[in-house]
């Protein structure tokens, strides 16, 4: 993911924007709402995909809106919900701050995020090159992120794009919360049946598990040292000990061991 910005200015007229918002508002509670909302947002800037995931207070993940994803569903949805979501910078962001707002992947991702196995499997495979998300507060402490992504050869969201989307975030969050607030696709049984995913291993100490988690999320040695208030040499020693205990030699093996 090349986190550089490009310029792509498209400003809708006030009349056109109001008509589009009116259509989205009228569609709240119906199957047409996501398409109507996406149509309004495309007046602000183009994007190739809109999808969303839902997170419970105990740290589980569920499908919010991924109806347009067909061919890559096993990659974008299935693998993500199976456990890879714990490595998502958006997941970390909403776990620490669930307030309604717009979040930007390039602002949240650790310094070595593009070198991770998670990035290779989720972003590189699906050709997502840039992503922003709107944070929605739903019932019973659930939080959702509705994402807009650019894929393939599309340019990254420019500074102007991000400014317009951020300005629209209050209305986008309000509409999204009104539509999805009661979690119509999620039964009480399915909520209770999905325990939180934990990165754990009986051979590793608490500190070593912290190291593993941060490595998988994309933190470099220097970033790990800063986050854990350790020296870079100490981090390197911990990393070597972890790999030796687990009898592995690469991050790909580490990912398969914990999140295959």
pLDDT band at 191 (very low <50, low <70, confident <90, very high): low
Q: What are the pLDDT digits (tens) for 72-95?
A: 777 778 888 988 999 999 999 999
What CATH number is attached to the domain comprising 245? Answer: 1.10.10.10
Q: Rounded to 5 degrees, what angle do the CA atoms 175, 56, 124 make?
A: 80
**Both 36 and 74 in a single domain?**
yes
Domain count, the chain: 2
pLDDT of residue 78: 86
Whether residues 213 and 184 share a domain: the answer is: no
Q: At 40, give phi and psi (nearest 5°).
A: -65, -45
d(CA 118, CA 251): 10
Same domain, 30 and 55: yes
| 189 has pLDDT over 70 | no
User: If you average pLDDT over every residue of the chain, what do you get?
Assistant: 90
1 inside domain: no
CB atoms within 10 A of CB 146: 28
In a domain, 9, yes or no: no
Domain of residue 35: give its range. 14-192
Greater model confidence, 216 or 199: 216
**Predicted structure pTM score:** 0.91
The answer to whether position 66 is within a domain reads yes
174 and 63, same domain (yes or no):
yes
User: pLDDT (tens digit, 9 = 90+) per residue, 25-53?
Assistant: 999 999 999 999 999 999 999 999 999 99
């Amino acid at each position: 993911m090349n986190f550089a910005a490009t310029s792509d200015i498209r400003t809708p007229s006030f009349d056109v924007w109001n008509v589009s918002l009116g259509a989205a508002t009228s569609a709240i509670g119906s199957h047409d709402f996501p398409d109507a909302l996406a149509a309004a947002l495309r007046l602000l800037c183009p994007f190739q995909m809109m999808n969303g995931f839902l997170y419970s207070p105990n740290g589980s993940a569920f499908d919010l809106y991924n109806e347009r994803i067909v061919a890559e569903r096993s990659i974008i949805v299935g693998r993500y919900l199976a456990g890879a979501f714990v490595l998502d910078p958006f997941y970390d962001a909403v776990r620490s701050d669930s307030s309604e707002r717009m979040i930007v992947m390039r602002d949240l991702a650790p310094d070595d995020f593009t070198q991770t196995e998670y990035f290779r499997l989720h972003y590189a495979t699906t050709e997502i090159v840039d992503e922003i998300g709107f944070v929605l507060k739903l019932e019973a402490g659930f939080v959702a992120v509705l994402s807009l992504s650019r894929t393939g050869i599309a340019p990254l969201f420019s500074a102007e794009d991000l400014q317009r989307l951020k300005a629209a975030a209050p209305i986008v969050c309000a509409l999204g919360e009104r539509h999805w607030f009661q979690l119509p696709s999620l039964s009480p049984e399915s909520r209770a049946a999905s325990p939180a995913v934990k990165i754990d291993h009986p051979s590793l100490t608490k500190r070593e598990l912290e190291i593993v988690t941060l490595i998988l999320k994309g933190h470099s040695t220097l970033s790990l040292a800063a986050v854990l208030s350790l020296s870079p040499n100490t981090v390197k020693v911990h990393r070597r000990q972890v790999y030796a205990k687990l009898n592995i030699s690469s991050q790909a093996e580490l990912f398969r061991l914990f999140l295959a």
